[in-house]
Chain A
């Protein structure tokens, strides 16, 4: 079974802190994604990566950066956390990007609260 794990289920940080969210997948997938999920808004893509050291901006990249140094690991970084970044963060991976076979496998999510 594909497994996507995220480093924390719950995280509480202070405004201005630097925050790292880690995601690891074990299926040798090329593509990895970071979304945030807010009530009534669904999942919104922050960044995705289609290869090691490659990244593409999604719909809402402002205030975030990412790092992919190894194929299995994709990190989301909040350089200076703000209260409007309080949200559920979901990581996903897939073997393809685009096309009808693009099934994304998700981690359980990290609920981040910024005080």
Chain B
């Protein structure tokens, strides 16, 4: 059974700071997705990465997929209060639908 770990579990930073959160898998990802869940809402897809070494950018968010396809990082530049939420990595590309426990990010104004 694939297990996903995310770190840190909690992160509280000031507006304007940079941050990186991580996702690691016990086995190779079929494909990796990052979701963001805002309070009181369901998760919303941010990005899907498939190829080892792949880097994708979404405005101030940069997603990197490890060469071995077992880990990923999400870097946020100049964080804003609107970035507050729970960041989840997931492998929904195979027959198992697995989510990590999430990193809860709080960006203070």
| Bound form: Cα–Cα A45–B45 in Å | 17
Q: Out of B40, B50, B95, name the residue touching A100 (CB < 8 Å).
A: B50
Structural contact, B44 and A100, CB atoms closer than 8 A? no
| Bound form: Cα–Cα A99–B94 in Å | 6
* Residues A107 and B30 in contact in the complex (CB < 8 Å), given A42-B88, A42-B100, A43-B99: no
Structural contact, A42 and B93, CB atoms closer than 8 A? no
Q: What are 5 A-B contacts with C-beta separation under 8 Å?
A: A41-B101, A98-B30, A100-B30, A103-B45, A105-B42
In the complex, B48 has a CB within 8 A of chain A: yes
Tally of B interface residues using CB under 8 Å:
27
Q: From A44, which residue of chain B is reached at the shortest CB distance? A: B99
B101: chain A residues at CB < 8 Å are 40-42
A100: chain B residues at CB < 8 Å are 30-31, 48, 50, 93
Interface size class of A (residues with CB under 8 A): 20 to 34
B92: chain A residues at CB < 8 Å are 94, 98, 102, 104
Structural contact, B42 and A107, CB atoms closer than 8 A? yes
| Chain B positions near chain A (C-beta within 8 angstroms) | 1, 4, 9, 30-31, 33, 40-45, 48, 50, 88, 90, 92-102
| Bound form: Cα–Cα A57–B51 in Å | 29
Q: Most chain-A CB neighbours within 10 Å: which of B42, B45, B50, B100?
A: B42
A-B pairs with the 8 shortest C-beta distances?
A106-B42, A43-B99, A42-B101, A100-B31, A42-B99, A102-B92, A100-B50, A103-B45
Structural contact, B99 and A106, CB atoms closer than 8 A? no
In the complex, A108 has a CB within 8 A of chain B: yes
A21-76 contacts to B (CB < 8 Å): 33, 35, 40-45, 48, 58-59
